[in-house]
Homo-oligomer: A and B are copies of this chain.
């Protein structure tokens, strides 16, 4: 196999990352460095650097004489956006989507609550801007969903907590990948828009509990929808 030009190491990281997450390597054992280098027709140096990057992300480990092994999932840095993308691309299933939604349910109400307490005027304006883009009728599907993503990101940013801020890319990556598979024809509905407005109003008013509750309500609704789909799927599998 060959990979395109420009940053061979980065390319290989991506190729191997995807391959690992697709379960391409049986028994969690990768080929030796030399074999990988040969397979992708690049030097062992570049190969080793790619291996090191994947090691840093917790995906693999390598020891002399033992070779390169895939680590247990509990070591994977799932909050690394690369890893997350590979996971979601590798197994785009409803269960993983629910797991992810459960994290959002933990994160986003908390972030909204913190935003209600700490957001600066600029940060409030940022949230409001993406909210207005969400409403704008003439915009296309992609723009609307980018505005949706920006809305969530700006709330995380406004939390003024570096951990939540770091989760911006986490949420963005997951939302984008999920759109691949749950793409709906309609744009954001009026009801959804109203919920976003409610969240914003609570944040602007400094109502921490209200921001928490309204944000939780929105996410919970999505979760119940996914749970229904999972339940339906399981009924089909049983028969």
Task: Tell me how far the C-beta of A106 lies from the nearest C-beta in chain B, rounded to whole angstroms.
Answer: 3
A119 within 8 A of B: no
Judging by beta carbons under 8 Å apart, are B99 and A163 in contact?
yes
Cα A45 to Cα B45 in complex, Å, equals: 8
Give the chain B neighbours of A94 by CB distance below 8 A: none
Judging by beta carbons under 8 Å apart, are B103 and A161 in contact?
yes
Known contacts A56-B53, A114-B102; A73 and B162 CB within 8 A of each other: yes
Cα A163 to Cα B54 in complex, Å, equals: 18
| Chain B, residue nearest A84 (CB) | B163
Question: A53 is contacted by which of B52, B99, B159, B163 (Cβ under 8 Å)?
Answer: B52
Give the chain B neighbours of A45 by CB distance below 8 A: 45
Judging by beta carbons under 8 Å apart, are A77 and B78 in contact?
no
Judging by beta carbons under 8 Å apart, are A52 and B9 in contact?
yes
Known contacts A49-B49, A56-B56; A161 and B79 CB within 8 A of each other: no
Judging by beta carbons under 8 Å apart, are B163 and A77 in contact?
no
A29 within 8 A of B: no
Give the chain B neighbours of A54 by CB distance below 8 A: 56
| Chain B, residue nearest A103 (CB) | B163
A196 within 8 A of B: no
Task: Tell me how far the C-beta of A166 lies from the nearest C-beta in chain B, rounded to whole angstroms.
Answer: 5
Question: A80 is contacted by which of B73, B80, B162 (Cβ under 8 Å)?
Answer: B80
Judging by beta carbons under 8 Å apart, are B79 and A162 in contact?
no
Question: A106 is contacted by which of B74, B99, B106 (Cβ under 8 Å)?
Answer: B106
Cα A55 to Cα B10 in complex, Å, equals: 11
Cα A48 to Cα B45 in complex, Å, equals: 10
Cα A107 to Cα B165 in complex, Å, equals: 15
Question: A52 is contacted by which of B56, B107, B110 (Cβ under 8 Å)?
Answer: B56
Known contacts A102-B114, A161-B99; A79 and B49 CB within 8 A of each other: no
Q: A-side interface residues toward B, CB under 8 Å?
A: 9, 13, 45, 48-49, 52-58, 73-74, 76-80, 96, 99-100, 102-103, 105-107, 109-111, 114, 159, 161-166, 168
Q: Apart from A79-B166, A102-B114, A103-B110, what 7 extra A-B contacts exist at CB < 8 Å?
A: A49-B49, A74-B168, A77-B80, A79-B79, A102-B110, A102-B164, A106-B111
